[in-house]
Structure 1
Amino acid sequence: MLPALVLLACRDTPATPGSGIPTGFAQSYGVWTPGPRDDCTAAIHNAYSVVGPDGKLYPTWHPPVDPATGCSFGHDHGRDPRGSALYAMVGSIPFGYANEQLDVYDPANPRHEDHFGHKVEWENGVRLHFGSAAADAMFDIRCDVLVKLHQGTHSKDAFTNNLHELAYHVLCSDGAELHITLLAAIGDPGQFTRSCDGATEVVVGPATPANSPAGGGRRLIPDRACVDQDILVPLGQRSDFGTLHESWQTANSIRREDGHGLAFFDPYFQVSLPSRFYDPASATLVGRPIDVCYEVTPSGARAQGGACDESTSGGTITGVTFDDPRSVFDGVRRVVDVNSNTIDNAAGPAVWYTDPFGKHGHTQPFPGSVRQFIARIDNTRGGLNASGPTLGGNRDYGSPRVHAPN
């Protein structure tokens, strides 16, 4: 934790969730219902809620298993944010707040996301890197980081849809501080990049909403070509399950109405062994890795070793489905690459109001605007960008009862 900077931040505090009796319910509230493998009730789930800045009630982080009753929700939302040094400052994260503001800002083009995809990660006191040991020693900058991205890896949503809610909180020892919520445009709408070659653009179809803006970065997602190339292999070879990896590489900016960039940040979000891949031959466009474990091609190629053996006990268990807790294709292995945080806001103010995409920043709120906090500093350093470490690599958010969809 960085106590001196926390005290400084109190002069212009970041937006925190509201309090008191909610004035209504957000679209994201109450959408989860238990599946056949879950024994928590919707009422228990809905108790994990927070009043957002707009006064509405939102879902928020909860553990996979309710500690009071021992019942299982069957899905995870990542790391408990209450351990973050930033939690006292920003509070519980309202899942779906930026999406809700889009309903006001552009009611004809809503973007609602499911509940499962909200994933939290954080780390305190992480050290930034500047490309060399000498530069690292010269700057020696450390940050508290708390992030939440909606990264659903079980459905067809991200094959076409590039708008995903991102809550991004960072406080660094050089005075850099960001408290941002927006719909991050990750890559282009209607398509994604094939993960196993990192180059092929796979065009799928129209996005929701139809006017989704193109964004920087890209969404790398495995498809059937990756499965055929790396998973279904001849006898005597081992499958490369590393091909079942998603990398959502964001490139975000907060901009004033005149287009001036106030802040730039580009965390990458990685998931190993998701429960889906893109399969154009499927009526749903969704292929299930666990189903591939039972496939045999006419030439005799099949999945061998690794995650398939782990999910089926070496092929001795038949009929494991995508939502079976025994399947390790459940998206619980995730990491976040912090990367750079650049601020060009020396003239201030610290509080800006933008549209839900982080653009058209004004100093006063407007219908559908989102309050953003950006420190009054310039840390551009002549183009020398810092890069942060990888968060979450030593954590597995699964439990014996977590399963896809997750």
Structure 2
Amino acid sequence: MVLSNKGLLLAALLATTAPAFAQARELVFNTDASDPAPKAAFEQLIADFEAEYPDITVKVNIFDHEGYKTAIRNFLTADAPDLANWYAGNRMAPFVAANQFMDVSDVWEENGLNDSLHSAASAMTIDGKQWGVPYTYYQWGIYYNKDVYAKVGVEPADNWEDFLANCQKFKDAGIDCVTTGSKALWPIAGIFDYMSLRTNGYDWHMQLTRGEIPWTDDKVKAVFAEWEKLLPYTSPNHAAIDWQDAVSNIVQGKAANYVMGNFAVAPFLDGGMTEENLGFMPFPTINADIPRAEEAPTDTVHIPAGAKNPEDAKLFLAFLARPDVQTKMNQTLGQLPINAESSVGDDPYLQAGFDLLSTADGGIAQFFDRDASPEMAKVGMEGFQEFMVRPERLDGILERLERTRQRAAR
């Protein structure tokens, strides 16, 4: 067959454009889901998405955790993928400020996510817009030894006054009311966060961690005043032990309560505790006029501003937000779905956490070292540890934190 000049031109055009059409429905996804459970969860997620959207292929680039922290800053600038893993709250704020994450408020609006993902909406919102979709989190709270409570003859308290009264009874029995390990600093940031959230509320706490409130402010001092009430009942050697050592204090009945994240459940049970004697409760109310906010580090997926296929990327975000998808994914992760219409398995701690976070009308904080800048987080946690050991140094500690805040603001 002999082609005319016009036919040759058409054939050449088709040969040139065919690869472009073939690649047009590819999504490139960069992630640090390199550990076994997250890797398996994402593999299943992508397989399910491709089955539902057979015209779209998802190409995944997996980075190790530490390398990803640097890589994301590079690839968002130079060669942006269509989707990228990251975190909520202040961790995403620099990328929003640099116009490197896309506004996906339309995905939230069109899919009713302000209702179904309401517990994490505040952590995904900057300037009234949403900048990604959260898919998993885990609760913090108080894990306690039920046998110790029974031995001393007290019941879990839901308010600060009663909790401190229990603490005195534990102390009288020779038991630490609260244990923690501050050798690595971060565990006590969880205590500070709850003191702050319960004393002054979510909005105030977020202003503080964003650097908008002086650390010498009277409301900051009020947080530490409440915390100081707990210090006589806290394990005195906390600065010398790691968080796993504090787990042993609960297991062995040397302490009654531990402010910690749900990832500690496995070490508790591995240490010999059972669901019959390991309890979980929310951090008690300090100011009853403040809506209850909780601590729940949240993992997210975003569309980079330089994405080549943003429309299909939005389809992926809508898929990721669905209750059935989040249920299935978090069964593999062993964590909590954020969609309030999702379900969790029989694990009593996940069930308690799902209820706790789904009903947290006050907001979801991300944890101090995620909500604050890296420099402020480091100096802040060092100050928290020093305060717990030498509370009489509070004024000097707060002045040091304030100098750090001012330096960061320049």
TM-score tier (shorter): under 0.3
* Greater share of residues in helix: 2
- Structure number with the bigger relative contact order (C-alpha 8 A, sep ≥ 6) is 2
Using the size of structure 1 for normalisation, the TM-score is 0.26
| Larger strand percent | 1
TM-score w.r.t. length of structure 2? 0.26
